[in-house]
Structures are given as C-alpha cells and as structure tokens.
Structure 1
Amino acid sequence: MSTSITSRAVLRNGIEMPWLGLGVWQMSEGGQIEGAVRSAVDAGYRSFDTAAAYRNEEGLGKAIRECGVRREELFVTTKVWNNDQGYNATLAAFQESRKRIGLDYIDLYLIHWPVKAKYKETWKALEKLYEDGAVRAIGVSNFQIHHLEDIMTDCNIAPFVNQVEYHPLLAQQQLRKFCQEHRIQLEAWSPLMQGRLDEPVLMEIAARYGKSPAQIILRWDLQNLVVTIPKSANPARILENANIFDFSLSSKDMAKLDALDRSHRFGPDPDNFSFNF
C-alpha cells in the first residue's frame, strides 16, 4: 500500500510505477506545462502522463529534461492516437513521440483507445517496441474487459497497465477485479470527475477528515490499489493533490464512496466513441 509520494506499484515485469502522477491533458506547450511540471517535481511527483493527442509532448519533455531530477527516477507515459493505429503506423508514431519528448526511452506506452479492427495490430507494434527496449512497459487505455480478453487470446505479452476513467461515480468494479486477477495495473484518468466534487457524501467525509473532496477521492483510488494521475496546472492544487499520504480512509468510508457508483461517465464510452473526438 502506498505510504508516501515516493511509493510505487510494481508492474508484472518488475518495473516500478509511482502510485501518484501528474496528468497534463489540456495543458498548453510553453509556460503552462513547464510551470506545472516544475511545481509537481518540487512537490515530489515523479510520474508524468501525456499523449500524442494532447499536443504537449515537446513541452513536457523539455520540462522533464530541465527539472534537475535524474532520468531513472522519473516515469514518463505517452500514448498512440487513434489515427496512428496499425502496426507500421504505430511504430512510426512512437518514434515521433519519442523525438518530441526528447528522451532515449519511454517508461510506459499505451494504446489510447480501442479502435475496432486496429487495436490488435497496434498491440503487436507495442510488443515489438517493448522487446526492442524502446519502452519499459506497455499497456492500454480505455479498454473494457472484452477488449482485454480479445488482445489476450493471442498476444505474446499481456498489457501491464489499463488506464481508464475511474472515480466514485464510475467505479468499474468488475473491470478492476479482472485487472487485479490478471495482474494488469489499473490507472485512473479524470479521477476528480472533471471538478464535479459537490456530492454530499463526499463532502461530508472530507469535512470529517479535514481534507478536500479531491484528496478524499485520490486516497480512495490508492486504497483501491489504483494508480491515479490528477490533472492540474495550479501549483497549490498540485501540492494539495500530493498531500494524501498522512491519513487513511476507514473501511466504512470506503464503502460509502463505493456506493456512489452509478456508472456515470464524463468522458466517451469505450464501446461507442467518435474516432476523432
């Protein structure tokens, strides 16, 4: 269980992945993302999650290279976008991402969405990247159980990570159980419900612990053994999101948060999404 911001989950291949990271979706190149990364590094973050589709890989890479922390202490994730899926296209897209980020290797490379008739071919490309040592771990994003089962029927390497929308209103309990059974680390994007934090139960629990609703959710993630990557460019919020290692939620409060689940998505449905949303 994570006890400090330096705590790491151990993936199936032995690679260590921080339990808490910074998501950089919607951050612009230049001052915004570079400032956010500096603030996060100062707060103890060592994991950073981007994607080709975010159009900020270059800024993230620059900030990481200049942050003063040794490369081996950092964990960098990026993703192949829908338009670039397919075996050869994915290999080319990876090289472009690595060039933009400016690092010799990427820690985790993900398929961003399960594009029908493409994602299995894309997975073969990720396997090659892993076997060639260009990435330390490979995984998927927004995959449901049937997508994972489809890949696992004839893959050489099963996904190490599945990054999905995950929060108290979308607890995805069956998916979490499946991933745990198959040693696929679940990771939460949009853990803070895009700012919809006014749930009465959540606010009541937060008041009792003297914490913010955001901190309660992030602690719930960790106690459910889910890696979490809240996004913020605000230095105060970045620090607040990191201040979740000095308390634990009781089993009763964990159950109250579990009971908020109503399968509510703020993002697209992985079984029915626009190719270029």
Structure 2
Amino acid sequence: MNARHMNKQNVTVIGLGQMGRALAEAFLAAGHPTTVWNRTEGKADALVARGAARAATVAEAVEASGLVVVCVLDYPAVGELLAPVAASLRGRTLVNLTSGSPEQARAEAKWAAEHGIGYLDGGIMTTPPGVGDSSNMILYAGAPALLDEHRSTLEVLGDPVDLGPDAGLASLYDAGLLGLMWSVFGGWLHATALVGADGVAAKDFTALANRWLKTVSWFMTGYAEQIDAGEYPGADATIDVQVAAIGHLLHAGEARGVDDRLPGLHLELMRAAVDAGHGGDSYARIIEVFRGK
C-alpha cells in the first residue's frame, strides 16, 4: 500500500455533480483510498486520473468501503440508488449529504435503521470550492457515535458540527442558515444600492458593513437569550424607537429611487408588534410575529 494511504479509511462517493466531485477530491487530497460512482461515467474520469477507483455499479461502490457518502440531486434519487443495495449497505455507515427536508432526512434514517445501516444526515454549508476548508462547516445529525468514529475522515471536508441524534436537524439548520444568508445578502445589497446612489464604492461600504455585522452578532446573542426565556426587555432599543429609525431609511431610499420593499417588510413586522402592544419591547419580540402569535 502507498505510504500516503496507510491508516487512511476507504471512502466511497456516490454522485459526482459539482459538489460530489469536490467531496471526492477532498478525500483524495487527504490520502483516502476513494471509490467513486456516477450514473454518467465520464464525470469520474478526472478523479480516476488522480487515483480514485471507478465502480461499475452502485453495489460495487458500496462494497468497496465501510464509509459511503452520497450526494445526489434529491432524496428520491437517494432511494432509487440505494434501496436495491440495502443488503450490501448493512453494517456500513451511510453519510447522506444530499439536500432535502427534515422530514425526508428522518424517513431516510428510519429506512437505514430498519436495514442495519449506520446513518448520518448532513448539510454542507459552503459551495463546492469551499469543500476541504476547515473554516467551513459541515453539519451532521444522526448517531453521535458514528460521527465520533468517522470524524478524522469527515473533517477533511470541513469542520464537522454535531447536531445530535435527530437526523432531521442538519436539514433544518441548513434551511434556517440559508434563510439567514439570503436575508443578510438582501440587506447588504439594499444598503449598498442606497449608499452607491451617492457615489460610495461597494468595497468601501462593505468594509464598514463587515465591521457592523460583528456588533449585530452581539445583539443576536443577547436576543437569543430573550427568545429562550420568552421575555423581551427593551433595555437597549425598543421597537417604537426602531420604527422611527427605519423611517429615515425609507426616506433616504425614496429620495434616491431605491426599491423599498425590503425595509418596508421590516416596518410591517415592527408595526404588527406595536399594534399588539409590544412597542416597548426589544426587536427580538418580532419572533412572535413570525410564529403567528
């Protein structure tokens, strides 16, 4: 055996789209003997040239390794590929990095348990170029003992974050974190359009925006404690005060022809809280509007 592969776990990667290829490349770069399979065989060519073993069938791919990673289009595709080889998967660990819903993840975990298959469901919190960077998170949910067993192998993909035994939590966190990302992107783009109307370069504004986000994260930490306690003291800034402040944002945008739908939505949420009698509470109270309360 090549010295580079000594004490390295064999890994199989099923599905070689952009993300699947990135996963396989990370395993290969770390010296793991890697078997790959894809419905379109040509997608494996570059990986085989780098030392991966090409499996002719899904069954052959599964039987090559104790750790099987699948990353395909959706959960129905996972079922279509793996249901026929359930017997071969028995006693192995299946890591499903396919995007889906918490309900689909829990159903897949139930199927795996019924067939004696160790199961971890995951969420990749980066794009393919970020796979292999330890600063990026890979979320895992399922049997914590399995993650502990395979941590040294899986950490070559990114920082493995254990969310506990509920297999649906990786998908749920993934959806929530993506929602947060899009909201941040939307706010940043609106703000960049606003200041850009007066000639401010995006890179100059973004330097301060990134600094400001550190303060915002401090507020979030405090607000999280309020949410868990179900109490929203407005000691820092009340919703009433922020309703007035967002008026300045709307005025500035209107004067510059900047679309106001995003800040308008924030104002709508704030007013709903005020109308419910909570204008003296902190902004965290708005979570109750999202909850429909």
TM range, smaller chain: 0.3 to 0.5
| More relative contact order, 1 or 2 (CA 8 Å, 6+ apart) | 1
Q: Which protein has the bigger helix share?
A: 2
The structure with more radius of gyration = 2
* TM-score (normalised: structure 2): 0.32
* TM-score (normalised: structure 1): 0.33
